[in-house]
């Protein structure tokens, strides 16, 4: 046991960045500039400042009509408490004018797209921050008291990079984000911080998904920690509560050290390549881990971790009441008291999209789409858009159309019925590969009835086992790629190569792995803002469908290829 403690202590020293020395290397490329060269204006309280890649950082910007181009410019406007900084989909980096670390003032909300956990809102970069307790660090973002960060993807690939650093800030909310591909930690809580971290995805971070040290407190609730170093590292005097998290497929699930006093309730800790939970001995005392009491059952599930489900190296017995754990999978003194009630895994953000419930067919289904597309002489809202060339080319061929107001609405989602109409328009001469099907929730007078039957017969899109089609349900990016691969019966590609191509490959549904590998091999996949972020489970936008349809036509030689940095493998 002593040998294990020594090794574990060394591992903790390496992964947590040597807390006692508090000195960390800073990426040579970190941006250390100030924001004094940007336009200056004062934002009023309870306002919304808009940011979009198509915007400008000129004085007077920040409205919905004239958004800022950079988050830095919006923050330089001195937003007061209550202000929302609303970020449109796109990539925000030093190349687009960002100066890191971004510093979110007290009481301000930074908001992207919470529904997709920031799948299309990428903030990437890092800069020097001198921490009061940890000296010089390479950090993407800092937050003040009462701030909210929601709906963004945040990454800092620099050496020992940290994405979100929270130091002695109170009442911080971190919700529905994705922390991916960061050199060290996704989120770092330190000092006298209180924060609620809810509904986020932590994946492919170098050291830890989340670290909580100092005297940090708050709830870490309903997050997914997957494919990283340690899912969570809790140390020093932290007293955070871990509730309903899914901690899977990491090197280690949770490591607890020093004299931390965390509480664990209702977590799923499984299939980590070393230990599920490690509790380390401190030179002067030991951590106190609450894994359940008779009055408050732990309800944690430990299973399938390679070395041990619980590895208690502290030398002090841990009481664990009301958890699901096999005594044979425990190392060290743990007093297990079995649960008297069933334990179910927590519901957390998952890379796999659950099968949606079968809806009842509407009594009177709509006979025409909402805002049906009509021929338009020009598309006023695609100029400068990343997909402008794809959209314009297809519009000129009559494959896609704008709306009555002259707009294309590139960021609108696409329903299954609309997708059926688009593929029929793009591939009118394709031969059927199976008999057509009549779906019981698509009446004969439904506007897309004929298109749905034809797209189904051509092999592009199928119904559900109960003979429904769900025409008004939005189609996801993965489903679009599967449809085109199946319809054209394309081949090639290796699913085993996907993790090296996409940072979020773990989110690809199992049914789509082969098709997405094939689509990638055939250069159908268009990923904005980054070719390495697939976002397979996000609803496909009109712009994305246009780009992928165009790539499919280019594959057939029907149109010339359009060079693009967003085509994976191009």
* Secondary structure string (H, E, C) spanning 140-168: EEEECCCCEEECCEEECCCCCEEEEEEEC
The DSSP output letter for 31 is B
Among the residue ranges 31-40, 242-251, 260-269, 432-441, the one predicted with the least confidence is 31-40
β-bridge mates for residue 541, sequence order: 413
Whether 510 is in a domain gets the answer yes
- Write out the two tokens for 215: 């005297």
| Domain interval for residue 476 | 388-555
Q: Are residues 334 and 427 in the same domain?
A: no
457 within a domain of the structure (yes/no): yes
What's the pLDDT score for residue 570? 65
Q: Which long-range contacts (CB under 8 A, 24 or more apart) does 353-356 make?
A: 353/476, 353/478, 353/509, 353/537, 356/470, 356/473
Say if residues 50 and 68 touch (Cβ distance below 8 Å): yes
Mark whether 287 and 413 lie in a shared domain.
no
In a domain? residue 561 = no
Average pLDDT over residues 364-385: 52
Q: In this structure, are 334 and 401 located in the same domain?
A: no
pLDDT band at 285, cuts 50/70/90?
confident
Q: How many domains does the chain have?
A: 2
Q: Does 346 reside within a domain?
A: no
- 313 is written with which tokens? 């190296």
Instruction: State whether 439 and 334 are in the same domain.
Output: no
In a domain, 213, yes or no: yes
pLDDT (average), residues 167-185? 96
Residues 324 and 396 in one domain: no
Percent of residues, the chain, with pLDDT higher than 90: 66
Q: pLDDT band at 349, cuts 50/70/90?
A: low
Specify whether 326 is located in the same domain as 451.
no
In a domain, 564, yes or no: no
Of 338, 358, 380, the position where a domain reaches its end is: 338
- What is the reported pLDDT for 504? 86
pLDDT of residue 82: 93
Tell me: the pLDDT tens digits for 16-28? 343 333 323 223 2
The one-character DSSP state at 22 is -
Using DSSP's 3-state secondary structure scheme, residue 329 falls into helix
> Quick check: helix, strand or coil at residue 555?
helix
328 and 427 part of one domain: no
Asked if the model's pLDDT at residue 40 lies above 70, the reply is: no
Give residue 465's Cα distance to chain centre. 30
Instruction: Give CA angle at 533 (531, 535), nearest 5°.
Output: 125
Let me know whether 127 and 256 are in one domain.
yes
Instruction: Give domain status of residue 360, yes or no.
Output: no
User: pLDDT at position 151, please?
Assistant: 96
Cα 474 vs. chain centroid, distance in angstroms? 19
> Residue 355 domain-assigned?
no
CATH of the domain at 75: 2.160.20.10
* Residue ending a domain, choose from 317, 338, 359: 338
Q: What are the φ/ψ torsions at residue 338 (nearest 5 degrees)? A: -65, 155
Q: Are residues 414 and 512 in the same domain?
A: yes
pLDDT tens per residue across span 224-247: 999 988 999 999 999 999 999 999
- Cα torsion 70, 75, 77, 81 to 10°: value is 140
pLDDT in tens, 498-552: 999 998 888 899 889 999 999 999 999 999 888 889 999 998 999 999 999 999 9
Q: Using the predicted structure, report yes or no on whether residue 376 has a pLDDT greater than 70.
A: no
- For 444, residues 6+ apart whose C-beta sits below 8 A from its C-beta are none
pLDDT of the residue at 318 = 95
Confidence of residue 407 (pLDDT cuts 50, 70, 90): confident
Q: Write down the pLDDT at residue 375.
A: 32
3-class DSSP assignment, residue 340:
coil
Q: What residues contact residue 295 under an 8 Å CB cut-off, 6+ apart?
A: none
pLDDT for the residue 52: 96
Q: Name which of 95-109, 168-182, 404-418 the model is least confident about.
A: 404-418
Q: Which residues are CB-contacts of 549 (< 8 A; sequence separation ≥ 6)?
A: 394, 399, 422, 423, 426, 484
Residue 229 to residue 318: CA distance in whole angstroms: 24
Give the burial string for 550-569 (b: 16+ CB within 10 Å, else e). bbbbbbeeebeebebebbbe
Q: What are the tokens at 161?
A: 């990079």
Confidence at residue 565, expressed as pLDDT on a 0 to 100 scale: 87
**Max Cα-Cα span within the chain:** 77
CA distance 76 to 78: 5
Residue 351 scores a pLDDT above 60: no
pLDDT score for 19: 34
How confident is the model at residue 340, as a pLDDT?
63
Rounded mean pLDDT, 128-132? 94
Q: Where does a domain end: 338, 361, 380? A: 338
pLDDT digits (tens, 9 = 90+) for 464-498: 888 899 999 999 999 999 999 999 999 999 999 99
| pLDDT, the chain, mean | 85
Residue 436: the pLDDT is: 83
Pairing state between β 318-323 and 334-338: parallel
Are 425 and 334 in the same domain?
A: no
Q: Residue 423: pLDDT above 70?
A: yes
What are the tokens at 200? 């986020």
| Residue 213 neighbours by CB under 8 Å, 6+ apart | 16, 19, 188, 189, 190, 233, 234, 235, 236, 238, 258, 260
Question: Which pLDDT belongs to residue 380?
Answer: 84
Residue 345: what pLDDT? Answer: 76
Q: Helix H segments across 162-211?
A: none
Query: Does residue 36 surpass a pLDDT of 60?
Result: no
Q: Are residues 305 and 438 in the same domain?
A: no
SS3 70: coil
The residues, any chain, with a CB within 8 Å of residue 271's CB and separated by 6 or more, are 248, 249, 303, 304, 305
Residues 327 and 394 in one domain: no
Least confident of 137-141, 197-201, 376-380, 565-569: 376-380
Range 54-74 average pLDDT = 95
């Amino acid at each position: 046991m002593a040998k294990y403690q020594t090794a574990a202590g060394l591992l903790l020293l390496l992964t947590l960045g040597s807390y006692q020395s508090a000195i960390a290397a800073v990426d040579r490329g970190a941006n250390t500039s100030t924001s004094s060269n940007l336009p200056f204006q004062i934002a009023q309280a309870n306002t919304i400042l808009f940011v979009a890649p198509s915007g400008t950082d000129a004085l007077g910007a920040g409205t919905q009509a004239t958004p800022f181009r950079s988050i830095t410019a919006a923050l330089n406007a001195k937003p007061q408490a209550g202000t929302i900084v609303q970020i449109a989909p796109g990539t925000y980096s030093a190349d687009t004018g960002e100066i890191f670390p971004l510093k979110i003032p007290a009481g301000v909300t930074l908001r992207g797209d919470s529904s997709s956990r920031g799948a299309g809102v990428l903030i990437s970069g890092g800069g020097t921050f001198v921490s009061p307790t940890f000296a010089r660090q390479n950090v993407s973002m800092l937050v003040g008291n009462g701030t909210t960060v929601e709906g963004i993807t945040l990454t800092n690939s620099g050496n020992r990079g940290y994405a979100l650093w929270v130091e002695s800030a109170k009442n911080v909310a971190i919700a529905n984000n994705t922390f991916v591909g960061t050199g060290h930690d996704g989120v770092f809580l330190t000092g006298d911080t209180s924060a609620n971290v809810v509904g986020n995805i932590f994946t492919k971070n170098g050291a830890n998904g989340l670290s909580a040290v100092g005297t940090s407190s708050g709830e870490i609730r309903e997050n997914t920690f997957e494919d990283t170093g340690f899912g969570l590292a809790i140390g020093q005097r932290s007293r955070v509560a871990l509730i309903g998290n899914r901690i899977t497929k990491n090197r280690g699930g949770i490591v607890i050290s020093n004299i931390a006093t965390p509480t664990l309730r209702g977590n799923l800790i499984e299939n980590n390549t070393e230990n599920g939970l490690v509790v380390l001995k401190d030179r002067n005392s030991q951590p106190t881990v609450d894994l359940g009491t008779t009055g408050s059952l732990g309800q944690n599930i430990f299973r399938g971790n390679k070395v041990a489900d619980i590895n208690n190296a502290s030398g002090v017995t841990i009481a664990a009441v009301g958890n699901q754990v096999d005594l044979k999978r425990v190392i060290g003194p743990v007093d297990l008291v079995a649960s008297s009630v069933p334990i179910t895994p927590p519901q957390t953000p998952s890379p796999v999209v659950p099968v949606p419930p079968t809806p009842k067919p509407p009594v009177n289904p709509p006979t025409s789409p909402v805002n049906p597309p009509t021929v338009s002489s020009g598309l006023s809202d695609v100029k400068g858009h990343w997909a402008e060339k794809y959209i314009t080319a297809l519009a000129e061929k009559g494959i896609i159309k704008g709306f009555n107001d002259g707009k294309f609405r590139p960021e609108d989602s696409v329903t299954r019925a609309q997708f059926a109409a688009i593929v029929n328009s793009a591939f009118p001469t394709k031969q059927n590969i199976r008999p057509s099907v009549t779906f019981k929730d698509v009446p004969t007078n439904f506007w897309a009835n004929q298109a749905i039957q034809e797209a189904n017969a051509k092999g592009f899109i199928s119904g559900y086992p109960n003979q429904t089609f769900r025409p008004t349900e939005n189609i996801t990016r993965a489903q679009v790629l599967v449809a085109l691969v199946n319809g054209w019966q394309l081949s090639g590609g290796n699913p085993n190569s996907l993790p090296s191509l996409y940072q979020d490959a773990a989110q690809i549904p199992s049914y789509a792995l082969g098709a997405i590998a094939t689509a990638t091999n055939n250069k159908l996949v268009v990923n904005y803002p980054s070719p390495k972020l697939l976002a397979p489970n996000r609803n496909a936008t009109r712009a994305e469908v246009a780009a992928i349809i165009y790539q499919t036509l280019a594959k057939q030689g029907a149109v010339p290829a359009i060079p693009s940095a967003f085509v994976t493998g191009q």
